[in-house]
Amino acid sequence: MERKTGHYETRAVGGESVHAFIPAPLPPDPPLDLTPARQRLLERATLALGRLDKAGELLPNANLLLYAYVRREAVLSSQIEGTQSSLSDLLLFELDAVPGLPVEDVVEVSNYVVALHHGVDRMRGGFPFCNRLIREMHRTLLSRGRGSDKLPGEFRRTQNWIGGTRPGNAHFVPPPPDHVERCMGSLERFMQKPDGSALVRAALAHVQFETIHPFLDGNGRVGRLLIPLLLHNHGALKQPLLYLSLFFKLHRSEYYRLLDKVRADGDWEAWLDFFLEGVEVTANGAIHAAQRLATLFDEDMARLDVLGQSAKAARSLLDALRERPVATLNVVRDMTGFSFPTVAKSMGALQRLGIVREQTGRRRNRVFVYQAYLAILNEGTEPL
């Protein structure tokens, strides 16, 4: 199928001639070839999304899965960009209590969490999904740490490139800066259209955003954020719970190859097949994790029966650790309203039962980890 996905424009950059790619507006022309096999892929991915939407109901608090998966995604998406922080690092950083972490990396991951929440909160407040919101999230993402000098919240005004040491030997050169506003305006109109499949729209928009590469830094992370937010905005997900970074991380060579095939050959169909497989695999993985967490919480609550009269306080502590699986005694005291001695005694009971472990070895400012919970969330987040 002949399909023109854009055109090249020759520009002088840094004293050398480069060919910058300017993508054609979406949707593809001619339209996507939705064969029966591809329709089945779309149906399976859509059904998996529907099951994912109900997965939070398995847990005592539906927001627990969102809390956990937003942070897991922040770690994975940032790892793709080269950070080495773990989920434990992020949770410790959020405690603001433990020195000695790789601060630059973990600040980037923390920024990602804040940026995602900013986008969700703005949309729930009635703000439209638009380029202004994308720029706001980008400003938050680059507000601290590396990249804070790369025009946070503003589309680039200079040429960037992907791969290579300069534009002249780059793997790919995105549109020149004077085309960015127009390209992003066209993408905004496409993302806001209410018709058609939200999954197909998210798949196409992700590639288009990565091709435009509108910012000087942070494009990959923002491009991955667009997927759950678009699905949430179009009603395909009540909670923005679908995060594809692990799938992209595990199949990153194929991911980059398919992006190139779209640009070079107009092969949107191969990309869509890959994307829909990723949605189904990722959604089913999150559902399975939610089921395992629900079982874990029930089993650990039942283990507290041996504590007799002390079980009530211990259950309240375990409830708090579901919300904050890495915590200090002071944090748990503030969450439960119990006195410090009661919290210390109950945490000691949880420790003796093997539900939590203390990880600092100190007598003061100790940090306790709900270890089995964290182990489930950590799967696949090992640094690259």
Of 272, 289, 306, the residue that ends a domain is 289
234 & 344 share domain:
no
142 & 273 share domain:
yes
Q: What is the pLDDT of residue 20?
A: 95
The reply to whether 331 falls in a domain is yes
The residue that leads in pLDDT, 166 or 145, is: 166
283 & 153 share domain:
yes
Q: For the residues 170-193, what does the mean pLDDT come to? A: 96
Q: What is the pLDDT of residue 383?
A: 64
The reply to whether 384 falls in a domain is no
121 & 257 share domain:
yes
For the segment 125-159, what is each residue's pLDDT rounded down to a tens digit? 999 999 999 999 999 999 987 778 889 999 999 99
What sign for the dihedral angle of Cα 274, 207, 247, 296? negative
179 & 135 share domain:
yes
Cα–Cα distances (Å) from 244 to 75, 120, 156, in that order, read 12, 17, 26
Q: What is the pLDDT of residue 159?
A: 95
Q: Tokens 């890959």 sit at which residue? A: 274
- For residue 220, pLDDT beyond 80: yes
Of 259, 289, 319, the residue that ends a domain is 289
Q: How confident is the model at residue 102 (pLDDT cuts 50, 70, 90)?
A: low
Q: What is the pLDDT of residue 233?
A: 92
Instruction: Please tell me the distance from the alpha carbon of residue 376 to that of residue 146, in angstroms, as a whole number.
Output: 30
The reply to whether 305 falls in a domain is yes
DSSP code of residue 32: P
Amino acid (one-letter) located at 24:
A
321 & 276 share domain:
no
Q: How confident is the model at residue 174 (pLDDT cuts 50, 70, 90)?
A: very high
308 & 324 share domain:
yes
The reply to whether 88 falls in a domain is yes
Q: For the residues 254-271, what does the mean pLDDT come to? A: 96
The reply to whether 221 falls in a domain is yes
96 & 238 share domain:
yes
The reply to whether 173 falls in a domain is yes
Q: What 3-state DSSP class applies to 383?
A: coil
Range in 51-65, 279-293, 363-377 with the lowest mean pLDDT: 51-65
Number of H helices, E strands in the chain: 15, 5
34 & 93 share domain:
yes
Instruction: Please tell me the distance from the alpha carbon of residue 197 to that of residue 193, in angstroms, as a whole number.
Output: 10
Q: What is the pLDDT of residue 206?
A: 98
For the segment 45-99, what is each residue's pLDDT rounded down to a tens digit? 999 999 998 887 888 777 888 888 888 888 888 888 877 778 888 888 888 745 5
- For residue 314, pLDDT beyond 80: yes
DSSP code of residue 236: S
- For residue 177, pLDDT beyond 90: yes
252 & 339 share domain:
no
The reply to whether 222 falls in a domain is yes
- Read out DSSP for 63-132? HHHHHHHHHHHHHHHHHHTT----HHHHHHHHHT----S-HHHHHHHHHHHHHHHHHHHHHHTT--SSHH
Q: For the residues 209-216, what does the mean pLDDT come to? A: 97
What sign for the dihedral angle of Cα 60, 62, 65, 70? negative
Length of the chain: 384
Cβ-count burial 213-248 (b if 16+ within 10 Å, e if not): bbbbbbbbbbbbbbbbbbbbbbebbebbbbbbbbbb
Write the CATH number for 363: 1.10.10.10
125 & 251 share domain:
yes
- For residue 100, pLDDT beyond 80: no
275: containing domain: 6-289
Q: What is the pLDDT of residue 343?
A: 94
Q: For the residues 363-370, what does the mean pLDDT come to? A: 88
Of 289, 310, 328, the residue that ends a domain is 289
pTM of the predicted model, to two decimals? 0.92
Instruction: Please tell me the distance from the alpha carbon of residue 222 to that of residue 211, in angstroms, as a whole number.
Output: 13
Number of structural domains (the chain) is 2
Instruction: Please tell me the distance from the alpha carbon of residue 366 to that of residue 350, in angstroms, as a whole number.
Output: 14
For the segment 320-342, what is each residue's pLDDT rounded down to a tens digit? 999 999 999 999 999 999 999 99
- For residue 1, pLDDT beyond 70: no
Q: What is the pLDDT of residue 197?
A: 95
Q: What is the pLDDT of residue 150?
A: 86
Q: In what order do the strands lie in the sheet with 326-328?
A: 326-328, 367-370, 356-358
The reply to whether 1 falls in a domain is no
Q: How confident is the model at residue 384 (pLDDT cuts 50, 70, 90)?
A: low
Write the CATH number for 270: 1.10.3290.10
279 & 300 share domain:
no
